[in-house]
Amino acid sequence: MTWDNQPPAMPPQPPSPPAPPVPASGWTPAPMPPSWGSAAPVAPTTPDAPIPVTDAWGGAPTPPPDRGTNSSGPRRSNPFLRAVVTLVVVVGLFGLGFGIRSLIDNNKTTVVRSSNASGQVTTTAVTIDPGSEPIAYVAAMVSPSVVQIETGDGVGSGVAYDTDLFITNAHVVGTAQTVTVRDSDGTAVKGQVLGADTGTDIAVVRAAGLQAPPAKLANEKPQVGQIAVAVGSPYGLDQTVTSGIVSAVNRPVPNAKSVVINMIQTDASINPGNSGGALANRNAEIMGINSSIYSQTGENTGIGFAIPISTAKRVADQLAAGKTVARAGLGLSGPSTTPSGSAGAYVQSVTSGGAADKAGIKSGDLIVAVDGVQVGSFDELRGMASGYSPGDKVVVEINRDGKVLNVDVTLGTLK
């Protein structure tokens, strides 16, 4: 609409009434069991079904600005002046477009492949500089690989890691044999649950016919302080992206099965429905599968946990192959804290004929590292086992009577 002719002046409008508040009850996530601490374990996040969003926009629209009247009467347009202005605008837009195109051509672009409803693959150039906009870059690259997983009990997330194969959490699929898998374009198909391991909280779903390219998995271990981007379906809100940092690594977290897993801790917002989704680094590589949160209310408090992708992928490969997941063990026991108060895992007893016994580890030894990774407590040592399989060979560094020894150990099977 143009304003060549002056509209009649509008009377002053009364102020718009304040928008009614959004009911809080609709956004309260399901309560969670008591938060883990010295004794109680962290329970996995329970996926919630989608929750409708209440419209909170209220009040009358703001009227157009009142233009001052001309005492000589209505203002008339000048054809010659209008032609000149139009020519200037066209030339200006042409120059602006040329300048923008030059910037695009001179910058690196990320090519994202997608598919439309007819199945034709299209290519869209996304001009996102990973250096200046790392979160936007990660979101563009990772989101197509993240799906929503729906069961009769609620909604969770999943990550494509191979052709037609998706990693998710065991607590997302529950006891279901089939689930609905929905990709980023909204296409939904039936998926088959190939297997679930409640000990590591990992499950695998096979679903064909989706435009969900396998995500790139990280090879390097995450570092404290690096960027962390979570993608999933909190409260059923698919393709939601949140970001933060890696708050801690090798955080031992016991689950409902009393199995300790050394998790990636992050302050990226993770809520019910994020479970099974991606935690990515700034290179758009998946470094973890979101699994649980620390909370006394059931809501995000800035402390979430993701299963390291090395653990998740190892378990997923076994489940996809129809195998039973076996957990590795050293065959020893010890207290949560060392008698001297020093860091490490104190060996209180050794199982006869077990892996530690065969390697020569003795009661009273202090395990301070495994494969070069420092061990701060016995719980950390237990959590490290989730990253290995029976038969793997590791180097265990121990302190025995003040002497540091390196012992080669072939891991056994945790009974």
Give the chain's radius of gyration (CA, Å). 29
Per the residue annotation, which of 201, 267, 365, 379 is the catalytic one? Answer: 201
Distance, in Å, from the CA atom of 108 to the CA atom of 105, rounded to the nearest integer, reads 8
H-helix or E-strand containing 98? helix 79-106
Assigned token pair, 355: 């892996």
Could you give the 3-state DSSP secondary structure of residue 199? coil
> What residues pair up with 111 in beta bridges, in sequence order?
125
201 is catalytic: yes
| Cβ neighbourhood burial of 280 (10 Å; 0-12, 13-18, 19+) | buried
| Cβ neighbourhood burial of 158 (10 Å; 0-12, 13-18, 19+) | buried
Assigned token pair, 20: 């009614």
Distance, in Å, from the CA atom of 228 to the CA atom of 265, rounded to the nearest integer, reads 10
DSSP string, 211-246: --PPPPBP-SPP-TTSEEEEEE-GGG-TTEEEEEEE
H-helix or E-strand containing 41? none
Nearest to 176 by CA among 159, 148, 154, 160: 154
35 is catalytic: no
Per the residue annotation, which of 157, 171, 291, 295 is the catalytic one? Answer: 171
Nearest to 305 by CA among 343, 267, 336: 267
Residue 92 CB partners (closer than 8 Å, separation 6+)? none
Nearest to 309 by CA among 276, 349, 356: 276
Cα-to-chain-centroid distance, residue 188 = 21
Per the residue annotation, which of 275, 291, 377, 386 is the catalytic one? Answer: 275
145 is catalytic: no
Nearest to 270 by CA among 96, 92, 109, 47: 47
Positions annotated as catalytic residues are 171, 201, 275
